[in-house]
């Protein structure tokens, strides 16, 4: 009797999610795999031609797609590093003895509450108009110029904005990990005479390994899939220097109306992101310690 009631509760919470997940993720995903084998412009009445694996073979010769993959990898490496280093440092700072820690937490988390599109537009103004004015006023035109007009600096700008947005969110997860650390172990290490770095590297890091797993997974997949900031901050420019994979796929499908080919790109993209994040999760999972 008790078991059946549990099952009822279980269903109440899980079934709506399963329903939504199935209708907006699983089913479109399966249909999408089907689309990736046809050539079609997206108009229901227009002809769909079956082309087999041609869409897939084609994308390995698509220089622009491969370049955008390169940008994405570069962007992801730097962003993931920066977001996690900053997120963890913030977390350590605001769990310490800092007097303004509550205010700091709120402020650091705030950027995450602003949507990526709006963030992009705000920073676009900063990187172009504000930077230019600062350069003119101070004469430091080597540093303060319109960053978004320079291919390399535009990518740096993307990394800065993505970091600024995500670091606060990642900080929250690290804070949880840090606060869940058993006080007695920390105290024991103190009694044994461990200094700050020893405590951090030998005691704290292994204990918050589950947070690392989650944070790395979130940042990796989010950075690979970045679209909104890309769209509003640089639009892929200048001269495609910041066109990420998601934007390349978006352009292929919604600007050039190549639904089949764009879908094939999306499937490959999914496979790549899935493989990379799965490897990451399996590696960091192994390093987690049991208490």
Partner 1 sequence: MKAYLADLSDLSFVGDISANMANEIDGKVVGIPYTMEGFGLVYNKSLIDASKVNNYDTFVQMLKNQKAAGINGFSLSQESYFLIGHILNTPFALQADAQDYINKLVAGEVTMQDTPEFVEFGKFMEAIRENTSNPLEVNYDTETGDFATGKNASIHQGNWCYGMFADYDVNFEMGMMPLPISGNDKIAASVPTCWYVNSQAKPEEIQAGKDFLNWLYTSETGKKYLMEEFGFIPVLTTMTSPKLDPLSQAVSEYAAAGKTISWPMSKWPAGIVDVYLVPIAQEFFTTDMTGTEFLTKLSDAFVQAGK
Residues that bind partner 1 (CB under 8 A): 43, 45-46, 128, 132, 146, 149-151, 235-240, 251, 255-257
Q: Which is nearer to partner 1, 69 or 91 (CB)?
A: 69
Q: How far is the CB of 41 from partner 1 (least distance, A)?
A: 8
**For residues 59 and 268, is the Cβ–Cβ distance under 8 A?**
yes
3-class secondary-structure state, position 144: coil
**For residues 59 and 261, is the Cβ–Cβ distance under 8 A?**
yes
3-class secondary-structure state, position 194: coil
The residue ranges of DSSP E strands in the chain, in sequence order, are 38-39, 49-50
CA-CA distance, 226 to 182, in Å (whole number)?
Answer: 36
Question: Encoding tokens for residue 272?
Answer: 């790549």
Q: How far is the CB of 212 from partner 1 (least distance, A)?
A: 38
Q: Which is nearer to partner 1, 189 or 257 (CB)?
A: 257
- In which element (H, E) is residue 91 found? helix 63-94
Q: How far is the CB of 149 from partner 1 (least distance, A)?
A: 5
Q: Which is nearer to partner 1, 102 or 141 (CB)?
A: 141
Q: Which is nearer to partner 1, 189 or 240 (CB)?
A: 240
Q: How far is the CB of 254 from partner 1 (least distance, A)?
A: 8
Phi-psi region of 236 (alpha: psi -120 to 50; beta: other; left: phi over 0): left
Q: Which is nearer to partner 1, 76 or 234 (CB)?
A: 234
Q: How far is the CB of 45 from partner 1 (least distance, A)?
A: 4
Beta bridge partners of 49: 39
Q: Which is nearer to partner 1, 210 or 237 (CB)?
A: 237
Q: How far is the CB of 58 from partner 1 (least distance, A)?
A: 10
Question: Encoding tokens for residue 122?
Answer: 């705000």
Q: How far is the CB of 42 from partner 1 (least distance, A)?
A: 10
> Which residues, 6+ apart, have CB-to-CB distance to 218 below 8 Å?
169, 170, 173
**Distance set, CA 99 to CA 94, 96, 103, 176 (Å):** 9, 9, 9, 19
Q: Which is nearer to partner 1, 92 or 156 (CB)?
A: 156
| CA angle at 276 for the pair 273 and 280, rounded to the nearest 5° | 135
């Amino acid at each position: 009797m008790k078991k059946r009631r549990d099952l009822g509760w279980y269903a109440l919470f899980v079934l709506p999610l399963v329903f939504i997940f199935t209708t907006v993720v699983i089913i479109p995903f399966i249909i999408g795999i089907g689309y990736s084998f046809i050539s079609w412009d997206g108009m229901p009445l227009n002809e769909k031609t079956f082309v087999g694996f041609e869409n897939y073979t084609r994308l390995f010769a698509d220089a622009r797609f491969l370049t955008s993959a390169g940008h994405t990898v570069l962007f992801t490496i730097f962003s993931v590093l920066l977001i996690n280093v900053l997120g963890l440092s913030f977390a350590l700072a605001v769990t310490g003895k800092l007097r303004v820690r509550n205010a700091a937490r709120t402020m650091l988390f705030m950027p995450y509450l602003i949507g990526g599109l709006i963030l992009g537009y705000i920073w676009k103004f900063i990187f172009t108009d504000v930077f230019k004015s600062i350069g003119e006023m101070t004469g430091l035109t080597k540093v303060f110029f319109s960053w978004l007009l320079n291919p390399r600096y535009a990518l740096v700008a993307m990394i800065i904005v993505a970091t600024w947005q995500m670091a606060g969110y990642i900080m929250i997860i690290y804070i949880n990990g840090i606060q869940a650390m058993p006080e007695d172990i920390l105290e024991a290490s103190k009694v044994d005479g461990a200094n700050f770095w020893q405590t951090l590297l030998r005691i704290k890091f292994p204990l918050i390994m589950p947070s690392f797993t989650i944070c790395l997974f979130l940042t990796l997949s989010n950075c690979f899939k970045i679209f909104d900031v890309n769209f509003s901050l640089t639009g892929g420019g200048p001269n495609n220097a910041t066109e990420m994979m998601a934007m390349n796929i978006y352009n292929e499908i919604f600007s050039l109306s190549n639904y089949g080919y764009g879908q094939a790109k999306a499937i490959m993209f999914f496979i790549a992101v899935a493989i990379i994040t799965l490897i990451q999760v399996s590696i960091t999972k192994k390093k987690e310690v049991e208490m």
